[in-house]
Amino acid sequence: NPNPEDLKMLKEISKAVKENNADIGFGFDGDGDRVGVIDNNGDEIFSDKIGLLIARNLSTSHQKSKFVVDVKSTGLYVNDVILNKNKCETIYWKTGHSHIKRKVHNEKALAGFEKSGHFFFNQPLGYGYDDCINSAIQVCHLLDNQDKRMSEIIKDLPQTFQSPTMAPFCKDEEKYQVVEGLVDQIEKIKKEKIKIDGQEIKEILTINGIRFSFEDGSWGLIRASSNKPSLVIVTESPTSNERKIKIFHFIDDLLKKTGRVGDYDQKI
């Protein structure tokens, strides 16, 4: 089944964009509820950043709106200049399209964005469900309203260094217990003010696994996959690619010590 999060699929779309001199490339999954985006230069843009660009575009005409994003998503939403200027609120919530869909409905949010490419739009933009065609249309509206190429629009966002979503094997009957143990370890590291790559953990979010953030805005995520025998790992840093990788190595070392985590589907 086509996966808009998979780097191999995105690279194939990138190739087609370059060969056809296209303005943008879209990748849809098999049942039509997820979208991936490639810019005019053939560079992949992770769906959480596409969501932020759409939210920025919508916030101008829908001030004081709420947006829901999953815990795998970029930390840029929190301090975004345009969203804050337009008095919009971002709510981080559990990964999983059913969780995001429900939260968007309950919060009466204008839209919800999941890093896997599930986007949800409430009235007047949609009916609250994830539709890849509607999502692609919102990206086209973004291009039209900004009157810029996608490669120019993405440069308006502060640079961050993001990992892809990585999924190391972990048995279904063990994955939640493994994550609980890691939550305890990381909470202890924060409490004892132990530094990771020279920085203390500033904040911890445990609504869905554990997302831990540092003083410079870098963060890492460990959670159990809801539908596969695996964990889900994501890291991001606004500082450097090296720092992103060091946070991953910190997580990877913790996973290895459990003795219950196997090979990754993809790795940085």
Which string of b and e fits 67-104 if b means at least 16 CB within 10 Å? bbbbbbbbbbbeebebbeebebebebbbbbbebbbbbb
Q: 112 with 213, same domain?
A: no
pLDDT of residue 14: 97
pLDDT of residue 6: 82
Residue after which a domain boundary falls, among 129, 154, 179: 154
Q: Return mean pLDDT, the chain.
A: 96
Q: 82 with 209, same domain?
A: no
Q: 11 with 99, same domain?
A: yes
The CA-based angle 173-177-183, given to 5 degrees, is 150
Give the mean pLDDT of 164-172. 95
Has residue 1 got a pLDDT over 80?
Answer: no
Residue after which a domain boundary falls, among 108, 127, 154: 154
Give 115-148 pLDDT, tens digit per residue. Answer: 989 999 999 999 999 999 999 999 999 999 999 9
Examine residue 268 and state whether it is found in any structural domain, yes or no: no
Q: 88 with 220, same domain?
A: no
Collect contacts of 105-108 with beta carbons under 8 A, ≥24 apart: 107/66, 107/68, 108/66
Has residue 99 got a pLDDT over 80?
Answer: yes
Phi-psi region of 163 (alpha: psi -120 to 50; beta: other; left: phi over 0): beta
| Cα–Cα distance for residue pair 23/28, rounded to 1 Å | 17
Q: 60 with 172, same domain?
A: no
Give 53-98 pLDDT, tens digit per residue. Answer: 999 999 999 999 999 999 999 999 988 999 999 999 999 999 999 9
Give the mean pLDDT of 225-254. 97
Has residue 157 got a pLDDT over 80?
Answer: yes
pLDDT of residue 16: 97
Residue 224 carries which side chain, given as an amino acid letter?
Answer: A
Q: 136 with 97, same domain?
A: yes
Contacts of 66 (CB under 8 A, 6+ apart): 88, 89, 90, 91, 107, 108, 109, 110
Give the mean pLDDT of 238-264. 98
Confidence at 212, pLDDT banded by 50, 70, 90: very high
Examine residue 264 and state whether it is found in any structural domain, yes or no: no
Say whether pTM exceeds 0.75: yes
pLDDT of residue 154: 96
pLDDT of residue 220: 98
Q: 59 with 189, same domain?
A: no
Instruction: Report the candidate in 81, 59, 36 with the shortest Cα–Cα distance to residue 145.
Output: 59
Confidence at 112, pLDDT banded by 50, 70, 90: very high
Examine residue 177 and state whether it is found in any structural domain, yes or no: yes
CATH number at residue 139: 3.40.120.10
Q: 172 with 239, same domain?
A: yes
CA–chain centroid gap for 251, Å, is: 18
**Count of structural domains within the chain:** 2
Confidence at 46, pLDDT banded by 50, 70, 90: confident
Tell how strand 161-162 and strand 219-224 pair up: unpaired
| Cα–Cα distance for residue pair 253/63, rounded to 1 Å | 44
CATH number at residue 254: 3.30.310.50
pLDDT of residue 134: 97
Q: 114 with 212, same domain?
A: no
Q: 179 with 125, same domain?
A: no
pLDDT of residue 30: 92
pLDDT of residue 98: 94
Examine residue 189 and state whether it is found in any structural domain, yes or no: yes
Examine residue 34 and state whether it is found in any structural domain, yes or no: yes
Q: Which residues form the domain of 211? A: 161-258
Q: 143 with 167, same domain?
A: no
| Cα–Cα distance for residue pair 40/164, rounded to 1 Å | 20
| Cα–Cα distance for residue pair 167/226, rounded to 1 Å | 12
The sheet that has 219-224: what strands, in order across it? 161-162, 231-237, 219-224, 210-214, 201-205
Has residue 198 got a pLDDT over 90?
Answer: yes
